């Protein structure tokens, strides 16, 4: 690990580069861009002190998805992939900080995705183009759609899902909890205090569970995580989790357990980070596809 300084307007790395390190900002701000320097350049957001950037390329070994540019003199700590374990060993509190940053990005992108879905419904209405802000939104989605098509992803949802697994079963936690079919693990609207790792069996995720509007969203099986968003941002659960098989075994993970988990089983911390990164990439692709649909006919 070492400190580096970038001058204003200097490119830290470019979209499509292979990533072997990520960065923690000490001082200054960094702009996050798609198609930087081109006619269809899009500035997505900016990163500020104590935030990380470039972590996804290191966590899941995919090319850089954006270009990072110093908006002013930028001082950062460069963390090579090979030093990640030592970085967490020296600063174990940064495990939760990095997870929360990924969680915040998922939450923000979910809001953007929901906005596009609402726009698609609005677009179907008569005289929709006459509504305030309609054309501005359409131009925004058209720009994102064009950028997404030009920079077609090198990954598929299936390839991302295959990345998340518990391997050979080594380094399992000392104790797991077993549940029976029909047990409700947590309910929609409850405050999220922990996340779970599925080691065997299956868990059903439902919206409006127990009502006339009940809908099963998905089933989760061994080698998957869930409930992390509630744990990371202390917000209400967005769905209900119900055990689907007798003998389903789950590992309960609390924020205060992460440092100890890293000491006893660093592989699992790595898998949680990869799970969050994979979820963000899948959501990004869904958002791009929704923007493509919104821009149809333009």
What does the longest C-alpha to C-alpha distance in the chain come to?
Answer: 61
Q: Would you say residue 163 has pLDDT above 60?
A: no
State whether 235 and 287 are in the same domain: no
Mean pLDDT of the region 181-191: 95
Cα Rg for the chain, rounded, in angstroms? 21
In a domain, 244, yes or no: yes
State whether 250 and 104 are in the same domain: no
Please state, in angstroms and rounded to a whole number, the distance separating the CA atoms of residues 292 and 159.
22
Asked whether the beta carbons of 115 and 72 are under 8 A apart, the reply is: no
State whether 45 and 120 are in the same domain: no
State whether 25 and 74 are in the same domain: yes
In a domain, 269, yes or no: no
Q: Would you say residue 226 has pLDDT above 90?
A: yes
Please state, in angstroms and rounded to a whole number, the distance separating the CA atoms of residues 278 and 232.
16
CA nearest neighbour of 47 among 1, 6, 90: 6
Name the residue with tokens 């439902």.
206
100 alpha carbon, distance to own chain's centre: 10
State whether 223 and 260 are in the same domain: yes
| Segment 67-120, tens digit of pLDDT | 999 999 999 999 999 999 999 999 999 999 999 999 999 999 999 999 999 999
CATH classification of the domain holding 213 = 2.60.120.10
pLDDT band at 138 (very low <50, low <70, confident <90, very high): confident
In a domain, 162, yes or no: no
Q: Which domain holds residue 240?
A: 172-264
In a domain, 159, yes or no: no
Q: Which pLDDT score, from 0 to 100, does residue 126 have?
A: 73
Structure tokens, 295: 């821009």
State whether 69 and 13 are in the same domain: yes
State whether 218 and 140 are in the same domain: no
State whether 6 and 65 are in the same domain: yes
State whether 259 and 285 are in the same domain: no
pTM of the model: 0.83
In a domain, 163, yes or no: no
Q: Which pLDDT score, from 0 to 100, does residue 123 have?
A: 85
Structure tokens, 14: 């470019």
| Number of domain units in the chain | 3
In a domain, 36, yes or no: yes
Asked whether the beta carbons of 113 and 283 are under 8 A apart, the reply is: yes
């Amino acid at each position: 690990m070492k400190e580096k300084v970038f001058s204003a307007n200097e490119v830290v790395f470019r979209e499509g580069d292979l990533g072997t390190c990520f960065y923690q900002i000490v001082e200054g701000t960094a702009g996050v861009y798609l198609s930087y320097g081109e006619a269809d350049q899009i500035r997505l957001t900016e990163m500020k002190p104590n935030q990380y950037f470039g972590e996804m390329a290191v966590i899941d070994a995919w090319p850089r998805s954006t270009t990072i540019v110093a908006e002013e003199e930028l001082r950062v700590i460069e963390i090579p992939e090979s030093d990640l374990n030592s970085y967490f060993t020296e600063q174990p509190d940064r495990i939760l900080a990095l997870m929360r940053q990924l969680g915040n990005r998922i939450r923000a992108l979910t809001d953007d995705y929901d906005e596009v879905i609402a726009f698609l419904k609005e677009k179907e209405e008569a005289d929709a183009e006459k509504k305030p802000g309609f054309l501005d939104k359409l131009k925004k989605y058209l720009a994102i759609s064009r950028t997404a098509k030009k920079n077609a992803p090198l990954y598929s949802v299936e390839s991302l899902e295959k990345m998340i697994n518990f391997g050979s079963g080594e380094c399992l936690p000392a104790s797991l909890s077993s549940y029976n079919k029909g047990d409700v693990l947590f309910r929609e609207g409850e405050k999220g205090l922990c996340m779970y790792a599925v080691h065997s069996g299956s868990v059903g995720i439902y919206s409006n569970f127990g009502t006339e509007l009940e809908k099963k969203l998905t089933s989760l099986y061994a080698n998957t995580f869930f409930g992390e968003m509630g744990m990371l941002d202390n917000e209400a659960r967005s769905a209900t989790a119900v055990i689907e098989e007798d003998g389903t075994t789950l590992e309960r993970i609390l924020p205060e357990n992460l440092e100890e988990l890293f000491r006893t089983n660093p592989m699992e911390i790595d898998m949680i980070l990869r799970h969050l990164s994979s979820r963000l990439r899948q959501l990004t692709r869904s958002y791009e596809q929704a923007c493509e649909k919104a821009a149809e006919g333009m």
